[in-house]
Each structure stands twice: as C-alpha cells, then as structure tokens.
Amino acid sequence: MRVARSGEPRGAATARMMSDPPSRVRAPFFKTVLEQIGETPRPVILELGAARQDLLALLHGSGCRLIVANLATAFADAGQANDSGGIAPITDVLRELCQPEPVDIVFAWDFLNFLDVQALASFMSNLAMLCRPRASVHALIVYAERLMPQRPGLLEPADAAHLRVHTGVELDRIAPRYSPDDLRRCTPAYDIDGVRLLGNGMQEYLFKLRR
C-alpha cells in the first residue's frame, strides 16, 4: 500500500463535555466501502484526516494507493467566513496530492460538519473533479446534537463494521445539523446512495458521484 501525506495548510455556544457517548458505534456504510475497496483493483483512497493506524490495518493487502491529506485545521477554519473562499487552499492541496490518478473512495469522516453551506457546496464540487465516475464519499453528519467540537476528528475506525467515538471532548461549536435535503442541495453532482442514523446520534452517509 502506497501512502501519500500532506501537512496542515471558531459560532460559539455554551461549552460542555460529551456525556458518555458510546465508545463504539456500528457503521454499515463504512463496512460497505471497505468491501468495495476489496473488490476494486488498486483503488485510490483519499483520507481527509491524519494517518490512522486502524485504517491502515484494515487496508493492508488491498493494493490501494492511500492519500493522507491531514486537513483538520483547514476544515475547522474554512466555514467561518460564510463564503466559499476558505475552500481554495483545501482544493489546491487535494489537487496536488491526487495527481495523476482519479480518486475512487473518500473518507470524509466528520469533516463536512465544519463547512457552511456555500463552502460545503464548493468543496463537494471541486472534489468531484478529482474523482473517478461513481466514486464513493463516506461521511458522518452531526444530527441529533446541537454542539460539536471545534475541530474534526471525533471518529476513527474500530474494526471493519464499527467506528470509535472519542469521549471527553469539549463540545463548544454550533453544529449545522445538515438534513438529507440540505445535503442534496449542496451536492448536485452526487447521489445519496444511503443515509442511516447511528447509535451516537450522527447520520452516516454514502455519496456516489454521478458522472
């Protein structure tokens, strides 16, 4: 498995700590994506966060090319200006990293929650240009909770069918709580292939690029 990495290029509400979320949550679409990877010859996978040892272990033997973008700080700041201007540096980093092959799978984790509507639409549009037709984007959306952390990174793989949710994280940023209709309006180039409410109150999404 070949891994490419990048360096890293606030909204407020009454802060509180997470109140005992489950340490593990079943994530069926995450399992679906891993199965897709196993069935795809040399897939190109884009990880928006840092390198995750559990993910590396799950991908071992797949023959994939894994691109580690490490963009938590950039995403945490991108949605603050209420426009799409913060997306340009993110797009530039991804465009450079993803050359010369188009991407088959994107692990977006909880990153999309940190973009306002305009920034989210701009990001997903630019991402589509880096992906192969029918590419998959796996994402988790804060839905039941009003608050979320200041930065992405709440979740990571636990095994092939479950995600681990970090505990003891301060929740002090208002969550956009995007609905499926909100996301359809922001992602016209994609189909929502599946959406499911998880045990921790987040919604798990699987997007498929149309073209």
Rounded CA gap, 1 and 64, in Å?
A: 5
CB-CB contact of 183 with 125 (8 Å): no
The pLDDT assigned to 11 comes to 39
Would you call 8 helix, strand, or coil by DSSP? coil
pTM score of the predicted model: 0.89
Whole-angstrom Cα distance, residue 211 to residue 203? 25
Domain ranges of the chain: 14-209
Q: Which residues, in sequence order, are CB contacts of 73 under 8 Å at separation 6+?
A: 8, 9, 151
Provide the edge-to-edge strand list for the sheet that holds 103-109: 2-5, 65-68, 44-47, 103-109, 131-142, 202-209, 190-197
Q: What is the pLDDT of residue 9?
A: 42
Is there a contact between 73 and 93 (Cβ–Cβ < 8 Å)?
no
CA 101 from centroid of its chain's CA atoms:
20
Q: Reply yes or no on domain 14-209 having CATH 3.40.1000.
A: no
pLDDT tens digits for the chain (211 residues)? Answer: 666 655 544 334 455 555 554 479 999 999 999 999 988 889 999 999 999 899 999 999 999 999 999 999 999 988 665 555 679 899 999 999 999 999 999 999 999 999 999 999 999 999 999 999 999 999 999 999 999 999 999 899 999 999 999 877 888 899 999 999 999 999 999 999 999 999 999 999 999 999 7
Strand runs labelled E in 27-169: 44-47, 65-68, 103-109, 131-142, 147-148, 155-159, 162-165
